[in-house]
Amino acid sequence: MYRVMSFNLLCAGRGARTWRKRVRRVISVIKEVNPDSFGVQEAHYDWIKKLSRYLPEYSYIGVGRDDGKKKGEFAAVFYKKNKFDASGSGNFWISETPEKPSKGWDSACTRIATYAKLTDLENGKAYIHFNTHLDHVGKIAQINGAKMIQEKAASFGGLPVVCTGDFNVFQDSECYNTMVSGNMKDARKLAPDSDDCYTFHGFKPDEIQERIDFIFVDEATVKPTSFKVVNKLVDGDFYSDHNAIYADIELK
């Protein structure tokens, strides 16, 4: 059994909810969930440094989307470094030139996907953890991003695959339908122990309740047993404008 998590951290924020003032709340949520691996979205390099500092049991795979180094947001995958070997990991841009920092199709922003090949050091089992943050404007870029993730996942020769992310789409969108058109399915729907909570609230949950963050799994190789949304306040305030989500999975 492994636990995977998706977490849009919110890169900035205002007033009492700037990223610096939310760091400890974010760390608290991650420690409480205690995932084996987790994907983050909207994580600038200062976020990455804070996560690495306060969560020393994790290493990460990922680069800044703007320059392939430290500039711009990361879609990093963190993993327990004493539990997994992460050889064979990498990233690609959601564009016509995936090997270099680039903006694709009708995308408003440069977008990237990260993948971590995680091999359990104890039993030798492995799964691929993809993580991304698809564009909030470009419909073509969203659809092609889903296709690119599927194609890359297929290149791992049948290894179990999970994909976390903020997809910026609803479940009736063409991007979502593209994502679930093959073996990849929505863990929220597959898990026998699940909930129906929203994932994005924009700090206004009485007005905004959207489900745009997902965990997809290859149903041929991954069995989700539970899916949960972390819908709570920490120290009396929001930890992000998104709710973190996580799933417990078994590898078939």
Q: Which amino acid is at 157?
A: G
Please give the structure tokens belonging to residue 112.
Answer: 């990237």
State the pLDDT at residue 205. 98
- 207 Cβ partners below 8 Å, 6+ apart? none
State the pLDDT at residue 151. 97
**What is the widest separation between alpha-carbon atoms in the chain?**
48
Class of domain 2-251: alpha beta
State the pLDDT at residue 143. 99
Q: What is the pLDDT of residues 79-99, one digit of tens each?
A: 999 999 999 999 999 999 999
CA triple 245-34-157, angle to 5 deg:
70
Please give the structure tokens belonging to residue 120.
Answer: 């359990």
Domain ranges of the chain: 2-251
State the pLDDT at residue 90. 98
Strand-strand pairing, 213-218 and 161-166: antiparallel
Q: Are 134 and 118 in contact (CB under 8 A)?
A: no
3-state secondary structure of 178: helix
State the pLDDT at residue 233. 98
State the pLDDT at residue 251. 98
State the pLDDT at residue 14. 87
Residues lower than pLDDT 70 in the chain: none
State the pLDDT at residue 16. 83
